[in-house]
Chains A and B, each alone.
Chain A
Amino acid sequence: MSTVFTPFHATLGGLLIGFAAAMLMYFNGRIAGISGIFHAGFRPGAKIWQGLFLVGLVVGTALINNWLDLDYPIRSGFPLSVLITGGLLVGFGTRMGFGCTSGHGVCGISRRSKRSVFATLVFVITAIISTTISRHYFGVY
């Protein structure tokens, strides 16, 4: 399954993501790390702001999808076993490694954290290997 290269929308979306992260730091002093906020939301000591941030994420996505006529492909028929295995590894790995694409990849790199730069390099490399193997050796699409 191939997709269309959309540099203009990608750049605009990226700028919004960056603005949201900057805003959360400027006002609240918090890193916009979604795995951290998500995991914390299910543990003792969860804060209201964490829940609101996650609700906002869903609302923002819904608004854009309703306002704009974006035709990004929606996947269907993807094997549930692969989806759940992926989810377990993402949950385990982000908890163990203290972050994901937003926390390490955007916020961590932006504050020039050596840990985040290396974490991002590592997870992009293992993700490329994982996708290549699952698509081309096991035919998972």
Chain B
Amino acid sequence: MRQNTIALLSGIILGAGLALSGMTSPLKVLAFLDITGKWDASLVFVMLAAILVTMPSYHWILKRPSPVLAPRFYLPNMKHLDIRLLSGASIFGVGWGLAGYCPGPAVANLAINWKEAVPFLLAVITGGFIADYLLNRE
């Protein structure tokens, strides 16, 4: 119950941060990625500011035996680079660079520009299931 409240609050704060930062505008995101055009460096400030808070916080939080409300930390246990990770990341990047949306801003845009967010998110869901189908066949 309390974990659900935290998840809702964390989502609200993250959504507020995205909207304030301007990363909810695909035009600003694409203006960052379009390095040969009129470059908008705002996204660098968003990423660095976020990491500036999260990195020291994680350092301190992960020294605890467990989180405050859950029995353990749920962290990925894979450590090494592999083809699947890097192929997936490159495919994600191509899609991000085409549309200007990564998943967070796309969800946030249900509140700003749903006419783009809805078809984009439906495609994200579909792409995820296609990945499951193709990658779990082996």
Contact = CB atoms under 8 A, between A and B. Distances in A.
Chain B at the A interface: SS class: helix
A88 B126 contact: yes
Interface residues of A, number: 111
Range for the number of chain B residues in contact with chain A? 35 or more
Contact of B93 (A13, A23, A53, A122): A122
Given A27-B68, A49-B4, A100 B10 contact: no
B98 A85 contact: yes
Contacts of B6: 23-24, 27-28, 49
Contact of B10 (A24, A72, A94, A140): A24
Contacts of A92: 88, 91-92, 95, 127-128, 130-131
Interface in A1-26: 1-7, 9-26
Given A17-B50, A22-B54, A106-B47, A87 B97 contact: no
A87 B95 contact: yes
Contacts of A74: 25, 112-113
Contacts of A52: 4, 7-8, 11
Nearest to B71: A29
Contacts of A114: 79-81
Nearest to B34: A131
B49 A11 contact: yes
